[in-house]
Structure 1
Amino acid sequence: MKTHGMLTAIKRLGASDRASGLIMLGCALLGLMLANLPATADTFAFVAHTHVGIPATNIDLPIGHWAQDGLLTIFFLVVGLDLKQELTTGTLANPKAAAVPMLAAIGGMLVPPALFLLVAHVLHSMQPGGAAGGLGAIAQGWAIPTATDIAFSLAVLSLFAKALPGSIRAFLMTLATVDDLLGIIVIAVFFSHLNEWYWFAGLAVCAAVWALLVRMRRVPWLAVGLVGIAAWVMMFEAGVHPTLAGVLVGLLTPAIERHGELTPRAARYRDRLQPLSALVALPIFAMFATGVHFDAFTPALLVSPIVMGILIALVVGKPLGIMATSWICTHIARLDLPEGLRVRDLFPMSCACGIGFTVSFLIASLAYGDAVMVAESRIGILLASLLSAAISGGLLHRQSKRYERGLAQPESGASIR
């Protein structure tokens, strides 16, 4: 009985946007502290760089990379299951109704890279000698500020916008889901180094077997797990980032009721995996992703082209792209927002989209090979995410208070009469 109650509590905690976002942020700050405090820095570095390999393969990665390439696959599996459900029966199943947030997600991914490149170019030209590798090397991080962290942005919304209509949360959910899908495409297209064809053939076989197994009346979970691991290995050997194996098998999971079931399997599996993703995979990934050691943490680091480029691209570029696209969609293309919403109502929510975090950290590690540039990019992501959270939190709180007053006015008027 006690075990059942504990499992229920863990499931509720994992399903809470607020709790999971705060836990992930706490682990990110913990990683930064552990990597830089004299008492813990050496031990943290030793653990992060200890190699663990898979027997009978050439896969041998440090523990820090296992957190990124292995544990993060759970997060991407949840994303894949969520995408499949949304595409089948959710908001993305009706493109016309979801047109504005879908297009706003595209606008929110196009503007930040342009701002990043512009700021990086200006600051690099002002600094004697510039950064290691030059402007060309810095520009490889153009995709870092394209991502929105759905867990953190929803956590900010749940903390500061309790009185706002559900249509704003639905808009953010649709936008962030499309953002995740586009981020997956960016990683697959721009950060993959394709290897021999037979690995892709093996991946196709794994995908077909997975699709067959998860459609059976009684799912053989041991076989499903082994096929999932094999798909991860095939994706790794094929030269595509292995976390995308999670997205692939998630999209192949049925999202309609089968065999007399009351709920679709994609939705049910997502709910079961969400606590593992939110409370284990993402916090550990965040801790190692921000666990960057700085020999000389100086003010000059904060004005580096990479740090400032990411900071401005996320904090300014994300809301600018979303708001501009939403205005064009509604005022020029004559598309409709949900009833009761105006474009200006979207601004506080759009600021929350500047919280990059999970996928931004992943893209940073793929974009840069130089350790210093990776460290600077991660500091830029962390600062931009914290600043975006603070700005959006303040704006959402004010917007929520105004909405509360607007609801209260008719009641007070009725009592006077």
Structure 2
Amino acid sequence: MNRLKRFGAAARRVAESDRISGLIMLSFALFGLIFANLPATYHVFESLAETQVGIAGTNLVLPIGHWAQDGLLTVFFLTVGLDLKQELTTGSLANPKAAAVPMLCAVGGMLAPPVLFSAVIMLFSRYAPPAPGWVTITGGETVPFAEAIQGWAVPTATDIAFSLAVLALFAKALPGSIRAFLMTLATVDDLLAIILIAVFFSSLNAWYWFIGIAACAVVWAFLVRLRKVPWLLVGLVGILAWVMMFEAGVHPTLAGVLVGLLTPSRECYGEATPRAERYAGKLQPISALIALPVFALFATGVHFAELTPALMTSPIVIGIIVALVVGKPLGIMVTAWLATHVGGLAMPKGLRVRDMFPAACACGIGFTVSFLIASLAYADAELSAESRFGVLAASLIAALISGILLSRQSRRYELEAADDERRQ
């Protein structure tokens, strides 16, 4: 028992470290890409990902790769829902006036990337062979513009874990206000991404499933407010909510967000901490060390006929890289400037708009939600594979650029602090 407790405490410490958990997920993503393309392993990896698991005679029979996306990732979205509820109640989003600039920046950071992605695809379809209105992807296959443009939503999301991991690695001397700004921005970004998935990537089925979803939501809200929470029953209700979402045609991971937002975020019955905060803390190790790494492994585990540098010339890959690496910081910085210079809003104390540029570059790290949207946006397997490769490449480029800029900014703050000490 003591060993189990020590192991649990160690896992919690690792999961709470943005740096370590981010590197673990990145490692799994790279392993997935390698295993799916090495001649010695790709057949085994492919058969594992395509192995059907589920309940015979029902719709709940999915390949293991889909279970990682639709099932295991629900734990991550439940953690997101709990964090969002806490932030909306007592955190950075509780005071809309103070959070106005980062909230608007999140919107700007989601609007600019689709515009740049669409522009890149349009340029390739108009000026590149074989003919206007068609796009040539890797391997010489041609697809119509209308099909290629379906990935517009892929580069809209920021991965909060990775962006904070970059800050932890390269920006030790930066003021806490920059991290708080990025946290607020990324939290709103998560909320907007959830709405985007629900609106654009759901194919609604029979209406009666939504009655079931509503019933599960009511029962969950009641159970988690009891003095003694019946966890077996709560778990069953959560699973039922997931099944109802799946059958209704809404992406089932959103069940985690729904029940997370219905969890109490203020202290009750004399408890020291709110339940939403406490539950999020307990789920964090499962999310960071199991759900996200396994999802990343299968999300990037796509087989290419030829995994060569030529893949970087694919219009899909180039469009996503431009959208995330350029579009994200561009949208954030332009919105911040307009909000403060035209809208009359104020940046957090001690921060100027230009101080946010290195952190804005870190927002180009798409990863988790972008991988998910890539798998939903394209029905064509090759387009989906290229878009996921584009997300991985763009995230690594954005991490490299932001890491360099944050490191320089951090050193500048260190020198300024040292100068202030000498003057005193």
- Please tell me the TM-score bracket, short chain as reference: over 0.9
Q: Secondary structure at the match of 2:62?
A: strand
Partner Cα distance (1:7, 1:58) in 2: 35
Aligned to 1:26: 27
Aligned to 2:41: 40
Residue 125 of structure 1, CA deviation: 2.5
Q: Bigger shift: 294-303 or 247-256?
A: 294-303
Indicate whether 1:224 and 2:225 are aligned.
no
1:243-274 deviations in whole A, cap 9, x for unaligned? 00000000000101111111100000000000
Indicate whether 1:153 and 2:163 are aligned.
yes
Q: Secondary structure at the match of 2:152?
A: coil
Q: Bigger shift: 294-303 or 209-218?
A: 294-303
Paired amino acid for 1:78: T
Indicate whether 1:136 and 2:146 are aligned.
yes
Residue 412 of structure 1, CA deviation: 2.2
Indicate whether 1:404 and 2:414 are aligned.
yes
Taking only aligned residues, the RMSD between alpha carbons, in angstroms, comes to 0.9
Give TM-score, length-normalised by structure 2.
0.96
Residues 323, 346 of structure 1: 8 Å contact kept: yes
Residues 156, 389 of structure 1: 8 Å contact kept: yes
State the percentage of identical aligned residues.
69
Partner Cα distance (1:55, 1:244) in 2: 24
Partner Cα distance (2:423, 2:417) in 1: 11
Aligned to 1:270: 280
Aligned to 1:63: 64
Aligned to 2:368: 358
1:53-94 deviations in whole A, cap 9, x for unaligned? 135531111000000000100000000000000111111110
Aligned to 1:72: 73
Aligned to 2:332: 322
Give TM-score, length-normalised by structure 1.
0.98
Residues 100, 326 of structure 1: 8 Å contact kept: yes
Partner Cα distance (1:386, 1:181) in 2: 24
The correspondence of residues 369-408 of structure 1 with structure 2, limited to 5 A, is 369-408=379-418
Aligned to 2:91: 90
Aligned to 2:304: 294
The correspondence of residues 166-181 of structure 1 with structure 2, limited to 5 A, is 166-181=176-191
Aligned to 1:312: 322
Q: Secondary structure at the match of 1:297?
A: coil
Residues 123, 304 of structure 1: 8 Å contact kept: no
Q: Bigger shift: 127-136 or 341-350?
A: 127-136
Aligned to 2:139: none
**4+ residue stretches of structure 1 with deviation over 6 A?**
none
Aligned to 1:17: 18
Structure 2 gaps of 5+ residues are: 137-141
Paired amino acid for 1:379: F
Q: Secondary structure at the match of 2:53?
A: strand
Paired amino acid for 2:124: L
Q: Secondary structure at the match of 1:133?
A: strand
Q: Secondary structure at the match of 1:52?
A: strand
Partner Cα distance (1:216, 1:258) in 2: 10
Paired amino acid for 1:147: A
